[in-house]
C-alpha cells in the first residue's frame, strides 16, 4: 500500500509474524530506472520473505526492474494489475492492464526471462461494471501461459471512472465465488484471495477454497491480528506474544533509525494501532503522536506511553 507498507512498517509487521509474506508499496518502473534506487529498494534482512510490487507496462522496463529486485535480494516480484487510481491509469498500468491480457503476459514473460525469482500478478476480478467470470478466467489463462503461477485476486471489479480509490475498495461488490472458481478451473495455479477479509475465522474459511489470503488495511490498522498467524496457519512457534515486547523491540529499532539521521516518528506512525481495543489505547497513541516529544529517545517515549495507560 503506497505510503504505508514501507520498510519500517514491514519491520514492525515481521515482529508480529515470522512466516506471513510481506509486500512492498507499489514502486513504479520509472522511479527505479530514473530515481534513487536504494531509497526504493533497501530493506531490512528481517523482512524475508518479502516481495517487491512493481507498477509498469513496458516489458523491457519491468525486466530491468526485476533484475534490480533480484540483485537486492527480494523473494518475489509482483506486477500490480489492480490499482484503479487515475494517476496510475495515466501511466497505463494498474487495473487498466486487465483490458490487455496479452500485454500483461508479455510483461510477465520478460520478467521471467530476466530473473529466477517467482513473478506473480495481483489483479481484480474485472474492470468497470461488467461482471463476467469469463473475463477474469481468460485474463488468468492468458497470463498463466506466460509462466505466471501465482495470482493474487482482489475479489472486486475496479471501476476506472467516477469513484475514488477508497470507494473502489468498498463500492464494487465482493464476488468471492469468482476467486473460488478460478481455483477450481486452474488447480495447478496458486490462487490468493484479497478483499474484505478481517478475522482469523474468515481467513480459515477462505483457505478451504483457495491457497492463500492477503490482508491489507485491516492488518495495518489492527496489527495485533497478525500475532497468532504463525501458530494457526503455519504450525510454527508464534512470534513475540506481548505487546510490551513488540514495543520494546520497536524502540530499539527506532533508536537505530535515529542514529542514521531519520526521525523516529517515521517509524512510530506504523505501530499506532498496536494497542487498539485495550484500556488506555487512546492515551498511548497520543503520546507516540506528540510532536513535542520528538527530541526524546524512543525508549523514553515508550516509557511515557506505557505510563499513560496505567
Mind listing the pLDDT tens digit for each residue in 233-247?
999 987 777 999 999
Return the pLDDT at 92: 62
Q: Rounded to two decimals, what is the model's pTM?
A: 0.93
Beta bridge partners, 213, equal 193
Judging by beta carbons within 10 Å of its beta carbon (0-12, 13-18, 19+), is residue 99 exposed, middle or buried? middle
Domain count, the chain: 2
Catalytic residue among 9, 65, 81, 83: 83
- What secondary structure letter does DSSP report for 227? G
In this model, does residue 66 exceed pLDDT 80?
yes
Widest pairwise Cα distance in the chain: 59
The range of the structural domain enclosing residue 220 comes to 7-234
Mean pLDDT value across residues 99-124 = 97
Query: Residue 125 phi/psi, 5° resolution?
Result: -90, -10
Q: Is residue 273 domain-resident?
A: yes
Instruction: Work out the percent of the chain whose per-residue pLDDT is above 90.
Output: 85
Return the pLDDT at 167: 84
Q: Would you state the cell numbers that stand for residue 244, as one nine-digit string?
A: 510490551
Q: Is residue 21 domain-resident?
A: yes
Q: Note whether 219 and 267 are same-domain residues.
A: no
The CA-CA-CA angle for residues 111, 125, 189, to 5°, reads: 50
169-217 pLDDT, tens digit each: 778 899 999 999 999 999 999 999 999 999 999 999 999 999 999 999 9
Q: Note whether 31 and 157 are same-domain residues.
A: yes
Among candidate residues 206, 234, 262, the one where a domain is terminated: 234
Mean pLDDT value across residues 252-277 = 96
Would residue 83 show up in a list of annotated catalytic residues for this protein? yes
Separation between Cα atoms, residue 286 and residue 295, nearest integer Å: 16
Amino acid at each position: 500500500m503506497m505510503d504505508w507498507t514501507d520498510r519500517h512498517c514491514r519491520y514492525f509487521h515481521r515482529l508480529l509474524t515470522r512466516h506471513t509474506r510481506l509486500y512492498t508499496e507499489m514502486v513504479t518502473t520509472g522511479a527505479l530506472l530514473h530515481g534513487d534506487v536504494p531509497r526504493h529498494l533497501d530493506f531490512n534482512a528481517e523482512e524475508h520473505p518479502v516481495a517487491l510490487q512493481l507498477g509498469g507496462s513496458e516489458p523491457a522496463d519491468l525486466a530491468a526492474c526485476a533484475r534490480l529486485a533480484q540483485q537486492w535480494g527480494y523473494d518475489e516480484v509482483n506486477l500490480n494489475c489492480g490499482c484503479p487510481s487515475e494517476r496510475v491509469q495515466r501511466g497505463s498500468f494498474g487495473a487498466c492492464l486487465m483490458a490487455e491480457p496479452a500485454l500483461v503476459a508479455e510483461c510477465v514473460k520478460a520478467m521471467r526471462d530476466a530473473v529466477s525469482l517467482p513473478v506473480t500478478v495481483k489483479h481484480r476480478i474485472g474492470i468497470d461494471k461488467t461482471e463476467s467470470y469469463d473475463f477474469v478466467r481468460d485474463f488468468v489463462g492468458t497470463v498463466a501461459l506466460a509462466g505466471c503461477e501465482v495470482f493474487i485476486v482482489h475479489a472486486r471489479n475496479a471501476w476506472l471512472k467516477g469513484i475514488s480509490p477508497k470507494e473502489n475498495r468498498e463500492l464494487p461488490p465482493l464476488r468471492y465465488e469468482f476467486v473460488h472458481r478460478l481455483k477450481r478451473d486452474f488447480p495447478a495455479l496458486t490462487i490468493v484471495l484479497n478483499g474484505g477479509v478481517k478475522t482469523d475465522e474468515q481467513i480459515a474459511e477462505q483457505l478451504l477454497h483457495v491457497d492463500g489470503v492477503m490482508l491489507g488495511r485491516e492488518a495495518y490498522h489492527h496489527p495485533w491480528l497478525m500475532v497468532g498467524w504463525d501458530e494457526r496457519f503455519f504450525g510454527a512457534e508464534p512470534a513475540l506474544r506481548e505487546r510490551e515486547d513488540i514495543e520494546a523491540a520497536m524502540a530499539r529499532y527506532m533508536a537505530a533509525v535515529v542514529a542514521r539521521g531519520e526521525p523516529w516518528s517515521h517509524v512510530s506512525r506504523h505501530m499506532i494501532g498496536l494497542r487498539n481495543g485495550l484500556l488506555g489505547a487512546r492515551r498511548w497513541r497520543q503520546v507516540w503522536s506528540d510532536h513535542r516529544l520528538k527530541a526524546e529517545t524512543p525508549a523514553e517515549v515508550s516509557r511515557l506511553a506505557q505510563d499513560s495507560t496505567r
